[in-house]
């Protein structure tokens, strides 16, 4: 098991336990990465951080100067919008091999995307967020202003780090049949909203889990996580006026995809909500299988509503998306200022189950492809 960054820095003798606690507290309050906060607080420098990140990831380092002086034609191999969104910079090429600096060099799904975009085999290097942001700000690489490291304040981010929450543990024989299997018949117990105590999921004509066969078939052929999101949101579009998917990674809820009358995708994607900020997601990570009813107040819920846009929902239905029994994301439905009494709870739970299986299958496929690429011998120019 890889050591944590803080442990490595303490072993290197460049960080004290008190300094680590200060950095972790800053992360808890404001979000963002531990290494970024340690540098901001003046507890370590960029060089030491990069050395520690290289030890942690097992990938070679890529420094600021190395990225800033990379040939423009090599940097241009990765589209600027994709590079900014994922914090990646291509800086060298040898034959079919492309040297890529990343904040998350062990993200196999992201590496596969880079391979598909460039037609080359990416060789991951680790880099600090500051070095990547500086390289992405160079004219010619990106014409847009790059989002620099955020200052302390509301937890927002540009890198969609939630990709790393997928950890493959199931075997293919468990996963592929599971996507086609029907969910167990739910007990005949109605969930009631509060305070009006309106029965949920009991409306005549509500869709049933048995009608998800077409969704299961489509998800089994998905080749990209955003394709999974599109299929799920399309399927549920007629069941609520606003439907959203959130991911959960390292104690933070992040915006994945959403559909609604006032949803702005760019703003929704930057949502980062630490679980230590009270919100409806907290109980859903502790074994509660469903939220159905009023949203309630609190700082975390206020940030959530800001990302979703108006109107503020009077009731919501939220179900965890589980991978290997652990919450890895959330499926959200609401009808704005109207009740969700006509939303079928069993249907939403079944869609969440299928989504979790699809994500795990997707990672399996990416790992198989990555393993195949490692056995390929690079061809000369």
Task: Give the start-to-end residue ranges of the domains of the chain.
Answer: 5-160, 172-366
% the chain with pLDDT above 70: 76
pLDDT at 102: 93
Report in angstroms the alpha-carbon separations of 175 from 19, 138, 141, 355.
43, 44, 41, 12
Report in angstroms the alpha-carbon separations of 50 from 38, 66, 101.
12, 13, 12
* 310 closest CA partner among 277, 344, 334, 285: 334
Q: How confident is the model at residue 202 (pLDDT cuts 50, 70, 90)?
A: very low
Beta strands in 137-236 (DSSP E): 191-192, 199-200
What is the CATH number that goes with domain 5-160? 3.30.300.160
Name the CATH superfamily housing domain 172-366: GAF domain (3.30.450.40)
- Residue predicted with more confidence, 291 or 169: 291
Residues 214-236: tens digit of each pLDDT = 899 888 888 888 889 999 999 99
380, pLDDT greater than 70 = no
pLDDT at 373: 56
Q: How many CB atoms lie within 10 A of CB 228?
A: 22
Highest mean pLDDT among 24-28, 166-170, 216-220: 216-220
Structure token pair of residue 134: 């500086």
- Residue predicted with more confidence, 204 or 67: 67
pLDDT at 325: 81
What 3-state class would DSSP assign to 172?
Answer: helix
- Residue predicted with more confidence, 181 or 213: 213
Structure token pair of residue 153: 């304040």
Residues 245-271: tens digit of each pLDDT = 999 887 888 889 999 888 888 778 888
What 3-state class would DSSP assign to 318?
Answer: strand
pLDDT at 372: 58
Q: How confident is the model at residue 151 (pLDDT cuts 50, 70, 90)?
A: very low
DSSP string, 112-127: HHHHHHHSSEEEEEE-
pLDDT at 186: 45
136, pLDDT greater than 80 = yes
pLDDT at 158: 40
Structure token pair of residue 288: 């509660």
Residues with Cβ within 8 Å of residue 341, at least 6 apart in sequence? 193, 198, 199, 200, 202, 203
- Residue predicted with more confidence, 50 or 145: 50
pLDDT at 263: 83
What 3-state class would DSSP assign to 198?
Answer: coil
Q: How confident is the model at residue 374 (pLDDT cuts 50, 70, 90)?
A: low
Query: Rounded mean pLDDT of 18-38?
Result: 83
Please provide the average confidence, as pLDDT, over all residues in the chain: 78
Structure token pair of residue 275: 């679980």
Q: How confident is the model at residue 369 (pLDDT cuts 50, 70, 90)?
A: low
Highest mean pLDDT among 29-38, 165-174, 248-257: 248-257
Q: How confident is the model at residue 292 (pLDDT cuts 50, 70, 90)?
A: confident
CB-count exposure of residue 184 (10 Å: 0-12, 13-18, 19+):
exposed
Contact yes or no for 226/86 (Cβ under 8 A): no
């Amino acid at each position: 098991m890889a050591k944590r960054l803080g442990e490595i820095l303490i072993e290197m003798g460049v960080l004290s336990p008190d300094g680590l606690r200060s950095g972790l507290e800053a992360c808890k309050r404001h979000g963002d990465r531990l290494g970024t906060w340690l540098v901001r607080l003046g507890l370590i420098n960029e060089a030491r951080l990069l050395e520690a990140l290289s030890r942690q990831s097992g990938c070679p380092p890529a420094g600021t100067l190395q990225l800033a002086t990379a040939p423009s034609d090599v940097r241009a191999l990765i589209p600027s919008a994709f590079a900014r969104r994922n914090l990646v910079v291509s800086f060298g090429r040898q034959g079919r091999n492309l040297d890529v600096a990343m904040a998350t060099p062990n993200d196999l799904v992201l590496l596969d995307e880079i391979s598909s975009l460039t037609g080359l085999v990416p060789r991951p290097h680790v880099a600090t967020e500051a070095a990547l942001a500086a390289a992405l700000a160079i004219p010619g690489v990106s014409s847009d202003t790059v989002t620099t490291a955020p200052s302390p304040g509301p937890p927002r981010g540009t890198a969609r780090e939630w990709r790393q929450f997928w950890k493959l543990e199931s075997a293919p024989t468990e996963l592929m049949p599971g996507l086609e299997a029907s969910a167990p018949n739910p007990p005949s117990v109605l969930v009631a909203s509060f305070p009006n105590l309106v029965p949920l999921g009991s409306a005549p004509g509500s869709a049933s889990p048995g009608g998800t066969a077409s969704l299961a078939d489509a998800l089994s052929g998905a080749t990209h996580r955003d394709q999974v999101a599109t299929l799920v949101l399309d399927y549920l579009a007629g069941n609520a006026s606003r439907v959203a998917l959130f991911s959960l990674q390292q104690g933070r809820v992040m915006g994945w995809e959403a559909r609604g009358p006032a949803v702005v995708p760019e703003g929704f994607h930057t949502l980062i909500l630490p679980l230590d900020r009270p919100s409806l997601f907290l109980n859903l990570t502790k074994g509660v299988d469903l939220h159905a009813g009023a949203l309630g107040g609190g700082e975390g819920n206020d940030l959530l509503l800001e990302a979703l846009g108006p109107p503020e929902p009077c009731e919501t239905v939220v179900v965890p998306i589980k991978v290997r029994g652990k919450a890895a994301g959330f499926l959200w439905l609401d009808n704005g200022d109207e009740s969700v009494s006509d939303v079928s709870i069993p249907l939403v739970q079944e869609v969440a189950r299928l989504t979790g299986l699809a994500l795990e299958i997707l990672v399996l496929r990416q790992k198989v492809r990555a393993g195949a690429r490692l056995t390929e011998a690079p061809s000369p120019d």
